[in-house]
Structure 1
Amino acid sequence: MGFERRLSLLAATIAATPLALAACTADQRSGAGPAGVRAAAPELALTPADRARDVPISAEVGTTVKGGRVTQVRLTDDKGAQVGAEPREDGSAWVPVAPLQPRRTYTAEVTATGDSGKTTTRRTTFTTTAASTKPEITSNLYFESNQTYGTAMPVTVSFDPPIPKEARADVQRRLFVKTNPPQPGAWSWVSDGSQAYYRAPDFWRPGTTISVRAALEGLPIGKERMGDADRSATSKIGRQVSLEIDNASKQMSVLRDGKLLRRIPVSLGKPSTPTSSGKMVIMAKHQYATFDTRGEPDGGYVVDVEDAQRLTAGGEFIHGAPWSEGDQGSTNVSHGCTNVSAAAADWLMNVTQVGDLVTVRGTEVPLTEGNGWTAWNVSWEEFVRGSALPVPAGLRPAPTQAPHPGAVAGGSPAPAPSAGGR
């Protein structure tokens, strides 16, 4: 069941580490306290350092304030054009809305205002590095714009080659997710560093808008590699749908908003090629697909199928299988896929969404970490342990178990199918 996982994501969440401090040139202070006593001006430090050279194009304007808050930031290039930037949630830096250009000079002017109204303004001018010749780490963002996803849809970024453990915090800081209405979540890494997932403790609420940015272009990753691209996407969360597949009964239960819509007989993987048990997410939907397993240990066939929905990177699908309809509901005969009747498969395609949760129980093998989007296959407590950055205090309390897949949670295109099982 060969499937090349090429992943790479983006979204630094709530806790970002402040950039290193450096003194800057211009220092303008104003204001006076009551009764002629001069009020203390805010202390303000910026990065990059003034006159710094060879600054990465992924640079941010780091701001540290004592005795006040940042009230104005202006970033301009060497032609006087203003460069857009947005603040991090913790206020530690302002992030340009697009990567900076190589071998260009930029000036940041930042003003901080104290409680008394007194202000401090500082400037720093820096020059970016030449275009990098280092090899890039290829990233993919599995979240596209203008889509409607299911309530279990994790934001997924994949990396090839995987991100080493010591570099994951730097990468995670450049992965940004915003939700409207707000529903905070956290990032978590697959243990080998090939994927990072973002989700909330519970499923997304239907109607939520999610905006993602993986701002990795020009980001130094370790000593030898660079980030490849800056990707963004905004989409919405649709209705709450989940599928529960029970090997003991050979039945699939289809639920919407926690209510049973239909039961469908299934045939799962035979003992030599079992279906994985665990919590999966529909990764892609195909009206037609070709499974070609020639050259694989348990393969050697080519078959065309209709109404196929991918569940794992390794090639497990739900799909129409008219040849096994006599076995569905009683016997497992597939190569790992979930076989349903042609009519049921067609009906399912009109009910499900990419991002819907699919839970399989009672088969011979567990779902492997990272085999598909496995963000929901662990408890919240275990999920947040995979973050490379501290998890905000409000997200640390962990539920005793993952949410029931049929619960109403107040809840991208995947790579094209390569191999699959019948």
Structure 2
Amino acid sequence: MRSKRLFGTVVALLASLSLLAACSDDSDSAGFGVDLPDKKKKAETPAAKITFAPADGAEDVSVLEPIKIIVDGGELTEAKVITPAGKEVIGELAPDKLSWTSGEVLGYGKTYKYSAKAENEAGNESTQEGSFTTLAPAATPRATINPGDDATVGVGMPVSVKFPEGPVTDKAAVEKALKVETSVPVEGSWGWLGDQQVDWRPKEYWPANTKVTVNAKLYGLPYGGGAYGKADLSTSFTIGRNQVVKINTPDHKMNVYRDGKLTASYPASNGKDADPNLNTPNGTVVVMSKEPVGDFSNPRYGYTNVKKKWAVRISNHGEFIHENEENRANIGKVNSSHGCVNLFEKDAKKYYDSALIGDPVEITGSKAKFPTTSDVFDWLIPWSQWQTMSAL
């Protein structure tokens, strides 16, 4: 009886095991319902694809175009661009980790190396490396901008960007890179005064107390002929009070206006009326510089070691406003100078102290006109003509 019971127990146990095996998942290699990592799925997931812009091996790359590292089918885990000096280029990884973009301009004629790592959704890592070379200009001429930072200038002052080291052939490209911002609306335009200078002037005199900021994004900009900009320029300055000098040469006086009101009238002797070569010419010019003592020596007319006080230059043609006590008998009565505006010393000092660089000086009544050869002749050009001098 004992052996029969034992046999029955064994049969029952075998039957239970058989039923358990029948209910289990054939794919469960352990036989107890525990999943292993899906190596087959990981192997079949496409690798993340990394691309660079500019492409590996690219040459003559613009120093202004941002570098892009982009991944498709995954996320970037590392992105670097290295300078020839071994420093990392500043850049930013997008929040979605699908791209990286550089955040600084590059140097001319340099080779940069880039590298990146990315992971696909299965955790597989991809790596990519490469390099590119930026353009090497034939020349990088410097430029200047005027007025300078923090200057306070008169209401006739133009903005002037000059290229003293060579001509600009692609004027439109340069002009597009120039921006003037004002604290109040001011209508104005750029005008090219040749191949090496472009000025911005308002249609009418600047409003008094206007704040002006000028940005010239010239670095990396093609000037034409293989030349590229050397550096960006900027300036911020202020337009001062409105002061305008008006001289009608036959009147033998110089009138000074503030905000349109006459504030001073000084006896004057202007250029000789009979000789157009010695006239104080007609036209609107601006105060260009001031010297406590100016040298007016002119061997052509027999002047040697001639010094005059309170000299205010109004053109590079040779005209100044200054004291001339030696001509006292003619001041206020006869035009007897060689083109300058002669004042009594006390009046010349008062005017000198009141003048700002960029103050307009309007002259009428002469036989001659100012030639457009001075450094600042913007106001000698009618507005309609000035607008045609833009390259845009």
Instruction: Give the alignment's TM-score, normalised by structure 2.
Output: 0.66
In 2: Cα distance, 1:229 partner to 1:298 partner:
45
The residue that corresponds to 1:157 in the other structure is 161
The residue that corresponds to 1:54 in the other structure is 60
The residue that corresponds to 2:36 in the other structure is none
> What do residues 63-108 of structure 1 show as CA deviations (whole Å, max 9, x unaligned)?
xxxxxxxxxxxxx875444389xxxxxxxxxxx9x9742216499x
> What do residues 268-305 of structure 1 show as CA deviations (whole Å, max 9, x unaligned)?
222242222101111112222223434xx557533222
In 2: Cα distance, 1:170 partner to 1:312 partner:
31
The residue that corresponds to 1:314 in the other structure is 317
In 2: Cα distance, 1:317 partner to 1:347 partner:
15
Alignment of 1:106-121 (within 5 A): none
Secondary structure in 2 aligned to 1:347? helix
State which of 267, 270, 291 in structure 2 corresponds to 1:286.
291
Alignment of 1:229-244 (within 5 A): 229-244=231-246
Matched-pair contact (CA < 8 Å) for 2:317–2:373: no
Question: What is the alpha-carbon root mean square deviation over aligned residues?
Answer: 3.3
In 1: Cα distance, 2:215 partner to 2:374 partner:
24
Structure 2 counterpart of 1:388, which letter? A
The residue that corresponds to 2:378 in the other structure is 375
In 2: Cα distance, 1:53 partner to 1:290 partner:
56
> What do residues 248-285 of structure 1 show as CA deviations (whole Å, max 9, x unaligned)?
21221100000000111222222242222101111112
The residue that corresponds to 2:355 in the other structure is 352
Residues 101 and 344 (structure 1), Cα distance of their counterparts in 2 relative to 1, 3 Å cut: same
Is 2:135 the counterpart of 1:129?
yes
Alignment of 1:202-281 (within 5 A): 202-217=204-219, 219-223=221-225, 225-270=227-272, 271=275, 272-281=277-286
Alignment of 1:165-180 (within 5 A): 166-180=169-183
State which of 192, 198, 201 in structure 2 corresponds to 1:199.
201
Shift of 1:209: 1.2
Residues 106 and 207 (structure 1), Cα distance of their counterparts in 2 relative to 1, 3 Å cut: farther
Q: 98-107 vs 208-217, which deviates more?
A: 98-107
In 2: Cα distance, 1:216 partner to 1:305 partner:
42
The residue that corresponds to 1:189 in the other structure is 192
Structure 2 counterpart of 1:383, which letter? W
Count of paired positions? 297
In 2: Cα distance, 1:279 partner to 1:126 partner:
54
Instruction: Give the alignment's TM-score, normalised by structure 1.
Output: 0.62
In 1: Cα distance, 2:320 partner to 2:61 partner:
46
In 2: Cα distance, 1:234 partner to 1:325 partner:
42
Secondary structure in 1 aligned to 2:296? strand
Provide structure 1 residue ranges, at least 5 long, that are not aligned to the other structure. Answer: 1-24, 28-47, 63-75, 85-95, 108-124, 390-422
Residues 170 and 307 (structure 1), Cα distance of their counterparts in 2 relative to 1, 3 Å cut: same
Larger relative contact order (CA 8 Å, sep ≥ 6): 1
The residue that corresponds to 1:143 in the other structure is 147
In 2: Cα distance, 1:158 partner to 1:301 partner:
34
Residues 381 and 346 (structure 1), Cα distance of their counterparts in 2 relative to 1, 3 Å cut: same
Question: Could you tell me the percent identity over the aligned residues?
Answer: 30
Structure 1 counterpart of 2:326, which letter? W
In 1: Cα distance, 2:325 partner to 2:170 partner:
49
Secondary structure in 1 aligned to 2:342? strand
Matched-pair contact (CA < 8 Å) for 2:182–2:210: yes
In 2: Cα distance, 1:354 partner to 1:322 partner:
25
In 2: Cα distance, 1:324 partner to 1:177 partner:
45
Secondary structure in 2 aligned to 1:313? coil
Secondary structure in 1 aligned to 2:250? coil
In 2: Cα distance, 1:233 partner to 1:311 partner:
24
Structure 1 counterpart of 2:352, which letter? M
Secondary structure in 2 aligned to 1:248? helix
Secondary structure in 2 aligned to 1:349? helix
> What do residues 223-259 of structure 1 show as CA deviations (whole Å, max 9, x unaligned)?
1544455432211111100000111212211000000
Matched-pair contact (CA < 8 Å) for 1:308–1:318: yes
In 1: Cα distance, 2:219 partner to 2:367 partner:
42
In 2: Cα distance, 1:343 partner to 1:83 partner:
63
The residue that corresponds to 2:24 in the other structure is none
Residues 327 and 385 (structure 1), Cα distance of their counterparts in 2 relative to 1, 3 Å cut: same
In 2: Cα distance, 1:199 partner to 1:106 partner:
45
Secondary structure in 2 aligned to 1:276? coil
The residue that corresponds to 2:388 in the other structure is 385
> What do residues 340-393 of structure 1 show as CA deviations (whole Å, max 9, x unaligned)?
11111110122221111111112232122241322222232221111001xxxx
Select the structure of larger CA radius of gyration. Answer: 2
Q: 174-183 vs 357-366, which deviates more?
A: 174-183
The residue that corresponds to 1:329 in the other structure is 332
Is 2:300 the counterpart of 1:301?
no
Matched-pair contact (CA < 8 Å) for 1:268–1:339: yes
Structure 2 counterpart of 1:280, which letter? V
In 2: Cα distance, 1:298 partner to 1:55 partner:
59
Residues 324 and 49 (structure 1), Cα distance of their counterparts in 2 relative to 1, 3 Å cut: farther
